[in-house]
Structure 1
Amino acid sequence: MMPKPTRGFDSSEFEMRLQKAQARMHAAKLDAILLTTEPDVRYFTGFLTQFWESPTRPWFVVIPAAGKPIAVIPEIGAAGMASTWIDDIHTWPAPRPADDGITLLRDVILQLPRKFGRLGVPLGHESHLRMPAGDYAKLLADVNAFEVADASMLLHRLRYVKSPVEIEKIHYICDLASDVFENLPNSLKSGESERQNCHRMRIDLLERGADTIPYLISGSGPGGYDSIIMGPTDRIIETGDVLIIDTGATFDGYFCDFDRNYAFGSADDDVRRAYDVVYAATEAGFAAACPGATTSDVWAAMWAVMEKGGALGNSVGRLGHGLGMELTEWPSNTPEDQTELEPGVVLTLEPGMEFAPGKQMVHEENIVITEDGARMLSRRADPVLPVIG
């Protein structure tokens, strides 16, 4: 197990992020960017709290064209935000539905210098506002001195390339989850439910040091499974079943995201062959993942192996994605994506195929792009389908 990274970041990390953001803002002719979601707010401030689970209050951070971020937040978060590197903090006594910070936010935005007259807001793919639509409409009317422009791609590209300290945190949680998966055959039991088997895995993840486990799914069935996003359920595992478990556990706000497959008692030739195919597809995707290649190149390398291996189709729509502060991040490994890979990019490789009607086999690993190619962050799965005796 690798050493546990230091929690949090030095202010130099946030200064670097802000400097990059403001350079791109200048190029995009933006006077400011409005942030409203947990990952975006945390990326620029370091404000890490479970309180985002409550939908009652909106939270706002404004990135100006020059100077540090400005927080406009409920009073309940003032002490927490003050513990970060942010010092310009405006609060209101939320919840106050009649004016839940909108007037305060309006005043902050209108006091900013206007060079271009453009306010960036994430409005594109994989973005959401996390504030009432009515409040957003009122804000736009109140700040009509600014033209609103979509800032989602600017923010995606900022978070796309991870710093060494971000990669260290992702590597750590991948390493921890790898330990848990390697120990899992010792605790998996037929005659018990998916839920019971996954419960023991969840406990192991926590005892080894995972902070949270927001995502732990499973699917099972005789000779294969038909879903990779549901469960765990109360379905009893029986001899001849195949079980997939996929986990997204976190350390210090950063995710791992990979899965493992297990057969119980025995595995027929079709299941073993499907496992071999997706394993080989992962190898092909790993070899293709190098600086200058694209996410579409990675997709093509994996799909060629699965197509040759008899894949009937893929219902997932992509063969992997970005990974970091969120379980899934931009971009996607698809034929159309064409995002160029750079050193510091963290991706999942997730080849999955339907190998028989109603039967899937999906494999997933986590990698980072380096100057010399790809490096595994998760420890590679067993090259042969594990069979639980």
Structure 2
Amino acid sequence: MSTGLILPKRGFTPQEFEQRVARAQTIMHRHGFDALLLTAPPNIRYFTGFDSQFWESPTRPWFVVVPLEGAPIAVIPEIGAPEMALTWMTDIRTWPAPVPHDDGLSLLRSTIGALPRRFGRIGAEMGREMSLRMPVSEFLSLRDTLGSSIEDGSPCIWEIRMVKTAAEIDHIHYICQIASDAYEALPSQISIGENEREAVRKLRIDIARRGADSTPFMPAISGPGGVPQIVCGPHDRTLEQGDILFIDTGSTFDGYFCDFDRNYAIGTVADEARRVHEALWLATEAGIAAAVPGATTDDVWRAMSAIIEEAGAIGNNVGRLGHGLGLQLTEPPSHRLGDGTVIVENMVLTIEPGMEYAPGKMIVHEENIAVTADGARLLTKRAPRELPVIR
């Protein structure tokens, strides 16, 4: 565990979940939904606190129904009932899954069908950055026989989840600090001549030792003066004099992600790479300063883009300059022209300017922030203005 960090209490109180549901139901009323049908692990965890490594098995579907009034209802395989009973949930309905001819479908249909019908509409995970964790054929059967229309509930769900509670922000801050400390220590653990996989292995172990639960995302890539992409790797490439080493991490604590990168100079790098690194450091400062309540994601993009363009960017294959963060590595909104999301207090965002300054040579910065009434609060430890050196 990282020295000096205060470990947040794992899990959340029943009162926390009651407040989440009450706020969700207010938003559901505005969207005109009698209930939300949830199947994906992050959405189920958000409303129930339930988590399991068994999500890795695709055999059984799991459902949570959030009604317009009253408490959520879990409709789950029997195998999950003992653990679900340890959460704040009290209405837990089960079937002896797997039963391929009726894997919870009739139980789910009767559960939703018994709810009061005000709008005649059920919201489901059908849209932006959402996915159904049930067979599509069964979803279509439910839709055709339910009696209420099933429609895209993702705008409603994201409106609920984009604004974090204080306890959620504490969780994200904790994992951000763990990863920040490990990033700072990395130059003392690796040297020129090692390869990308060895660097990632050492960083992953250090992050776990400091208290992270998992690190499902850690791409790394190196190249002379910059890198061609930031989502793949590591590879067996040896770190050589003049390289930039890029490492990104999505590590978790109690289900919540950090998502930020660091860049390292391998020995002495070219002055041009240092100039671009400086420009991106300043663009990050501008993005952080622009992320205030009432601004839009377009405004944050423009603040960073102005500096990047002045620095001579020839491209940026990332497609945006940051995004939301929480129970998923990436969440809405996106910092890009046309997104138009209004930034409000208690959003958690990444600030991620990047630029390709020569063919195949890109550098990207990233920090994580929470939006407060007074502006952005840094959740990560700010990247050094000068490139850290690995010798």
TM-score range, shorter chain: over 0.9
User: Runs of 4+ in structure 1 displaced over 3 angstroms?
Assistant: none
Aligned to 1:218: 220
State yes or no: 1:308 paired with 2:310. Answer: yes
- Distance in 1, matches of 2:304 and 2:54, equals 39
User: How many angstroms does 1:2 deviate by?
Assistant: 2.4
Aligned to 2:93: 90
Q: Structure 2 residue aligned with 1:366, among 347, 365, 368?
A: 368
- Distance in 2, matches of 1:6 and 1:22, equals 26
- Distance in 2, matches of 1:276 and 1:60, equals 48
Match of 2:219, SS state, is strand
- Distance in 1, matches of 2:230 and 2:323, equals 16
Match of 2:226, SS state, is coil
Aligned to 2:6: 3
Aligned to 2:251: 249
Aligned to 2:182: 180
The alignment yields a C-alpha RMSD, in angstroms, of 0.9
Aligned to 2:381: 379
Match of 1:23, SS state, is helix
Encode CA deviations 1:123-168: one digit per residue, 9 max, x unaligned. Answer: 111111111111111111220x102222111110111111111111
Q: Is the 8 A contact 1:255 1:327 kept in 2?
A: yes
Q: Give TM-score scaled by structure 1 length.
A: 0.98
Aligned to 2:77: 74
Aligned to 1:263: 265
Matched AA of 1:297: D
- Distance in 1, matches of 2:362 and 2:163, equals 32
Match of 2:295, SS state, is coil
Matched AA of 1:195: R
Q: Is the 8 A contact 2:241 2:269 kept in 1?
A: no
Matched AA of 2:276: A
Q: 1:1-80 residue pairs with structure 2 within 5 A?
A: 1-80=4-83
- Distance in 1, matches of 2:119 and 2:228, equals 52
- Tell me how many residue pairs correspond in the alignment: 388
- Distance in 2, matches of 1:30 and 1:178, equals 41
State yes or no: 1:100 paired with 2:80. Answer: no
Aligned to 1:227: 229
Match of 1:301, SS state, is helix
Q: Structure 1 residue aligned with 2:207, among 205, 208, 214?
A: 205
- Distance in 1, matches of 2:273 and 2:210, equals 32
Matched AA of 1:89: I
Q: Is the 8 A contact 1:296 1:334 kept in 2?
A: yes
- Distance in 2, matches of 1:347 and 1:23, equals 24
Q: Is the 8 A contact 2:27 2:159 kept in 1?
A: no
Encode CA deviations 1:151-197: one digit per residue, 9 max, x unaligned. Answer: 11111011111111111110011011111011111012221110011
Q: Structure 2 residue aligned with 1:136, among 114, 135, 139?
A: 139
User: How many angstroms does 1:26 deviate by?
Assistant: 1.9
- Distance in 2, matches of 1:352 and 1:161, equals 26
Matched AA of 1:133: V
Aligned to 1:281: 283
Encode CA deviations 1:228-278: one digit per residue, 9 max, x unaligned. Answer: 001111111111111000001111111111110011111101111111111
User: How many angstroms does 1:31 deviate by?
Assistant: 1.2
- Distance in 2, matches of 1:261 and 1:26, equals 46
Matched AA of 1:360: M
Matched AA of 1:72: V
User: How many angstroms does 1:357 deviate by?
Assistant: 0.5
- Distance in 2, matches of 1:212 and 1:148, equals 35
Q: What runs of 5+ residues in structure 1 fail to find an aligned partner?
A: none
- Distance in 1, matches of 2:100 and 2:194, equals 48
Q: 1:145-156 residue pairs with structure 2 within 5 A?
A: 145-156=147-158
- Distance in 1, matches of 2:384 and 2:49, equals 37
Aligned to 2:119: 116
Identity of aligned residues (%): 56
Q: Is the 8 A contact 1:120 1:149 kept in 2?
A: yes
- Distance in 1, matches of 2:19 and 2:7, equals 23
Q: Structure 2 residue aligned with 1:349, among 348, 351, 359?
A: 351
Q: Is the 8 A contact 1:267 1:387 kept in 2?
A: no
- Distance in 1, matches of 2:135 and 2:191, equals 47
Q: What runs of 5+ residues in structure 2 fail to find an aligned partner?
A: none
Match of 2:356, SS state, is strand
